[in-house]
Amino acid sequence: MTEGLKPHPLAVPHSLIVAFQRLKARPVLVGGKAVQVWTGLQDGLFQTYDLDFVTSLRVEDFPALGLGIEASGRHVVVEGQPVEFPTGPLAVGDLQLDPESDAVEIPTSAGDRIRCLRPEACVLDRLAQVAAWKVAEAYTQALAVAAAQVAQPGWDHAWIEEASRKAGLRKLWSLLKQELERDLPTEGALDEALRLGWD
């Protein structure tokens, strides 16, 4: 559940929800769409085209269900929406996460329920892209998720301190925390984040 957090409902094709139910799967939404859930932003830097779910399901599992879901390479296409299943397990960098405690149920815009990476884990997921690949927009997305959710009563400060250390992202999380205390974000911190890398 999402007590004390503020998710924004996300458009997820209902037939995909039905497919997950028939396949008895409890996938976890990650990636750019999870950023949309925790920021409510969908334009510009926050626009993304595909849904990413971590699950043990394979693309080949879907077409046989008869729900009109097509396989296309590593994606399935559901009502025109590409869906990808990134390589599991659920993790941030080299830190494996718990799909139960590190994800929460959120509503879709159609009134269904899906599981989504917690916002604290979503921040670290983005910072892992900064550490590994120097992705500038991922730093901005991490800061946006934190700015939107860190003051919510459900934000788990202790979890992100511990998880950032275990994931090798303590320096990047510390930098981001400093930015949260400023009156305005700085491009200097963005440049510093792109330089830092893993701990």
Partner 1 sequence: MPRLTLAQVVAVLGPAALARPSRKPRDPMERELLAKGGDPTVLREDTSLVRKAGDRPTRANSIPKP
Long-range CB pairs of 73-82, under 8 A, 24+ apart, other chains included: 75/50, 78/13, 78/15, 78/16, 78/19, 79/13, 79/15, 79/16, 81/13, 81/16, 81/50, 81/51, 82/49, 82/50, 82/51
Residue 44's H or E segment, with its range, is none
| Closest C-alpha among 38, 169, 166 to residue 97 | 166
Stretch that binds partner 1, among 15-23, 79-87, 102-110, 158-166 (CB under 8 A): 79-87
Site for partner 1 in 164-183 (CB under 8 A): 168, 179-183
- The answer to whether residue 157 forms part of the interface with partner 1 (CB under 8 A) is no
One symbol per residue from 92 to 121: x for binding partner 1 (CB under 8 A), - otherwise; what is it? -xx---------------------------
Tell me whether residue 1 or residue 182 sits nearer to partner 1 (CB atom): 182
**Choice between 1 and 133, CB closer to partner 1:** 133
C-alpha to C-alpha distance for 148 and 150, rounded to whole angstroms: 6
Q: How far apart are CA 118 and CA 36, in angstroms?
A: 12
21 versus 186: smaller Cβ distance to partner 1? 186
Interacting span for partner 1 (CB under 8 A) from 7-15, 17-25, 102-110, 129-137: 129-137
Binding segment toward partner 1, per CB under 8 A, in 11-19, 20-28, 36-44, 102-110: 36-44
State the sign of the Cα–Cα–Cα–Cα dihedral 175, 177, 181, 187: positive
DSSP state of 46: G
Interface residue with partner 1 among 13, 16, 33, 39 (CB under 8 A) is 39
C-beta closer to partner 1: residue 106 or 124:
124
Q: Minimum CB separation from partner 1 for residue 156, in Å?
A: 15
Strands 81-84 and 51-54: parallel
Map residue 119 onto helix, strand or coil: helix
Query: For partner 1, how many residues bind (rule: CB under 8 A)?
Result: 54
What residue ranges bind partner 1 (CB under 8 A)? Answer: 32, 39, 41, 44-45, 47-50, 72-75, 82, 84-87, 91, 93-94, 128-129, 131-140, 143-144, 146-148, 150-151, 168, 179-187, 190, 195, 197-198
